[in-house]
Amino acid sequence: NNNNNMDISFSSSFSRRLRLREQALRFQRYEMLTKLMRHDYDSYIATASFLSPSRIPRIQLPNIQDVPIGPGSLSTAEEPENGAIPLVPDCQLEDVTFKDNILDNILLKLFRYFVQQNTNGVTSPKPGILGLLEQGRTYYLDPRTT
């Protein structure tokens, strides 16, 4: 009986150490990926694409909004000459005006109904997508819902 208690104690101590080691390794991997993201974003994207989702869950990879990146690390924006905040380059695609159709309208009304049911009655008198946007804005800006 005493020998059995020692086995259980050793087993739980051993499994606790294994869990701690696994957590430490995950943290180290996260930190290494964060450093890679800061210094070579394109390589980070290639590495993250290789790792997720088949090798590690996406939630274990760092997100760009969680990693402070210095100026010049991302090459997507041109540097302004007057010291202003850099902007994303303009889209080169032709402007297209959205045209409603009956199916889109029905599906949007149905979706807005479900949004209203799942947000404790948040609704908007505005029609269409603008009303849906107002519903979302109202829901997310209400301190009782966040």
- Does residue 44 contact residue 12 with C-beta atoms inside 8 Å? no
Enumerate long-range contacts of 130-135, CB under 8 Å, 24 or more apart: 132/108
- Give the residue with greater pLDDT, 80 vs 47: 47
| Closest listed residue to residue 66, CA positions, set 104, 117, 31, 103 | 31
Mean pLDDT of 112-135: 91
| Closest listed residue to residue 63, CA positions, set 82, 44, 77, 78 | 44
pLDDT digits over 70-113, tens only? 655 555 445 556 666 666 777 788 888 878 889 999 999 999 99
Give the sign of the dihedral formed by CA 17, CA 18, CA 19, CA 21.
positive
In this prediction, residue 77 carries a pLDDT of 46
How many CA atoms does the CB half-sphere of 138 hold within 13 Å? 16
pLDDT digits over 5-34, tens only? 656 666 778 888 889 999 999 999 889 898
In this prediction, residue 82 carries a pLDDT of 64
Residue 135: pLDDT band with limits 50, 70, 90: very high
